[in-house]
Structure 1
């Protein structure tokens, strides 16, 4: 069972993997990274039975014939948040002014790909709105996806670090803490949605996996990570 997924849903897929493999006898081969990168892999011909992206990207793939119409199902909404390394002070980030000050005080700013990752694209827009996209460029620490960015921040020996990505990628990563979601004027709430691919080799098994991912089997893990549903 081939799964292509945005990094925000990685832990959800992993939480139902054992149950799916027990039910079907098939193993899950999952790839997790920025949603734009996962879309491009599908369009490039990568094998895929179930794909998990943002709702607009799934809708595009339905329109282009890559995802079965009517198969889209939401895992829940995920907000974008600010993180620091565990054990360090939590700055105030709940207003434009506070967020600006926190970014200016940071020695390293960790976030996902500003071209392919949902949170990375959005965060770069926030930095531009704050007038910091050029002045703080030397402090940017950019990674392919939010989970990788948070893991790198957790292991870094630099001091004065801050990061921004989907709250799930913060909550599921040991060594970093969620400080808060972005201020209301910069809020981004992303609907992570699965679709069954028209090229699925095992469509019946894909349906079983889809039900596990959006149903009670994964509900606790989704809530713990910050999915709202």
Structure 2
């Protein structure tokens, strides 16, 4: 027995490092950092669990506005050379990143069309926005108005309100909201009515979405995706974009409030 025991201990000790070495050499899954505008984040979240399981990558999604002066905005984060592999954002803002060399132009794909909607606090009366005249009157009657500092808010504040001749009359009660979903401002009661892309309002609790603003006032926003030129995993990033722009991802994009543009 005394002769056998040292042999068994030696065999056990020899086995343990081998087991740990095998575990240590198992490759960790590739992790893709995805910077996503709030307008398409819901669709990204919806496809993530199944995609991770089937493809064997880890998707780390971070909400980041497509534009604006906040530090969280995608252009500002890329300018600071923060790590990122994929960006999901407003097409016009992506075009500038491509021009600046931040996104690979060969990887650019269009994912969905978004339209502007209006929301009120849950349970509050729904103002009439069924016609242009009713929409204009709702703006004039509102106690306070909120809109984003991204594509929809820029259009409303710089173009539409001037076109329908209400800009001066609503200026003192209108607020551009940086780095926060407009729906959350409405849910807290900090503004009576709020405007943002439908896909950005849908995930917010505590609000009622009254509907899209009238066609004559509407502006479509195109959401696109691209691979960051400094990505450490360009092949896997491009594979993700191929999936997001395919018919397989279209139901998730549709459910998020976007009109999908699937290959």
| TM-score interval for Structure 1 and Structure 2 normalised by the shorter chain | 0.7 to 0.9
1:151 aligns with 2:179: no
Q: Is the 8 A contact 1:110 1:149 kept in 2?
A: yes
Structure with larger RCO (C-alpha < 8 A, sep 6+): 1
2: distance between equivalents of 1:27 and 1:95? 42
Q: Distance in 2 between matches of 1:140 and 1:57?
A: 24
Q: Which residue of 1 aligns with 2:12?
A: none
Residue 58 (structure 2) pairs with residue 26 (structure 1): yes
Whether the 8 Å contact between 1:112 and 1:143 is mirrored in structure 2 is: yes
Task: Work out which of the two has the higher radius of gyration on C-alpha atoms and give 1 or 2.
Answer: 2
Partner of 1:83 in structure 2? Answer: 119
Alignment deviations for residues 164-197 of structure 1 (CA, whole Å, 9 cap, x no partner)? 1101112222222222222222211111000011
Partner of 1:210: 241
Q: TM-score, normalised by structure 1?
A: 0.86
Pairs within 5 Å for 1:1-229:
1-22=32-53, 23-36=55-68, 37-113=73-149, 117-124=150-157, 125-145=159-179, 148-156=181-189, 161-229=192-260
Structure 2 distance, partners of 1:193, 1:183, is: 24
Q: 1:28 offset after TM fit, Å?
A: 0.8
Secondary structure (helix, strand or coil) at the match of 1:33 reads: coil
Deviation at 1:157, TM superposition (A): 6.8
Q: Deviations over 1:105-152 (max 9, x none)?
A: 211212112xxx00110111222223333332332233225x621112
Q: Structure 1 stretch 6-15 or stretch 136-145: which is displaced more? A: 136-145
How many residue pairs end up in the alignment?
A: 223
Q: Aligned-residue CA RMSD in angstroms?
A: 2.2
Shift of 1:25: 4.0
